[in-house]
Amino acid sequence: METLFQEQIISIPRIGDYAPEFKAVTTQGPINFPSDYKGKWVILFSHPADFTPVCTSEFITFASLENKFAKANCKLIGLSIDGLYSHIAWLRTIKEKIKFKGLKNVEVKFPLIEDITMEIAKKYGMIQPGESKTQAVRAVFFIDPKGIVRALIYYPLSLGRNFDEIYRALIAMQTADKFAVATPADWNPGDDVIISPAGSCGVAEERMTTKNGLTCEDWFFCTKKLDKDTVLSELIKN
């Protein structure tokens, strides 16, 4: 029983932690993470295995969006526990043979990490024995320009990721940082943003009486408009 319990213990970096460091061989050459990406947002994501259909659909989608993420100062890095030559052969097959949702001849240019020893996957809690002891789950880590984990999403092997949501989450976090606000449910650029709750009775009363451009449903729930063009001009580089 004790051995079984120990096997179920999974270390996962928490929000606010510094991203675990590693050096790796990738399809784009060696990387030293996160120091090579200082000043950039990074989406580090794992997939179960090369030459599998759900993973193939995801890599085609991510590769087609790479430039969109780059304009938001974000780099993409993939990982699975397959070897480098398997990665190269799989990515070549994707480009030469696979079509998905009208996308074809898609070249994956972002790094795909070789992790045969599972060392990196284990550092990031990507191996979850209840799902698989030999494949990484579909983990997504959002890591900010200071190398800090800002968000993480985990999906089971059978569930392909929603890339609109991954991009939305990235832009929402960048907006929160840039404008010192929070973003409500289903927020997208152009929607109203949330102002932090008042820290004193005086501030709460002032908000409810003077407004100052705020819309307050109650003292703790105030929003304000944040123009879509203002957000995108600050965050997206052409």
Kindly tell me the sign of the dihedral angle through the C-alpha atoms of 78, 84, 90, 95.
Answer: positive
Buried b (16+ CB within 10 A) or exposed e, 205-236: eebeeeeeeeebeeeeebbbebeeeebeeebe
Tokens of 210: 């003077």
Contacts of 157 (CB under 8 A, 6+ apart): 48, 54, 131, 132, 135, 137, 138
Residue keyed to tokens 């799902």: 131
Residue keyed to tokens 């780099």: 75
Q: Which amino acid is at 111?
A: P
- Beta carbons of 143 and 133 less than 8 angstroms apart: no
Contacts of 61 (CB under 8 A, 6+ apart): 100, 101, 103, 163
According to the annotation, is 168 in a ligand binding site?
Answer: no
Residue 74 falls in the annotated catalytic set:
no
Angle, helices 84-97/53-71, rounded to nearest 10 degrees: 80
Tokens of 80: 């699975």
Q: Which residues are catalytic?
A: 55
Residue numbering of the annotated binding site: 138
Residue numbering of the annotated binding site for substrate: 138
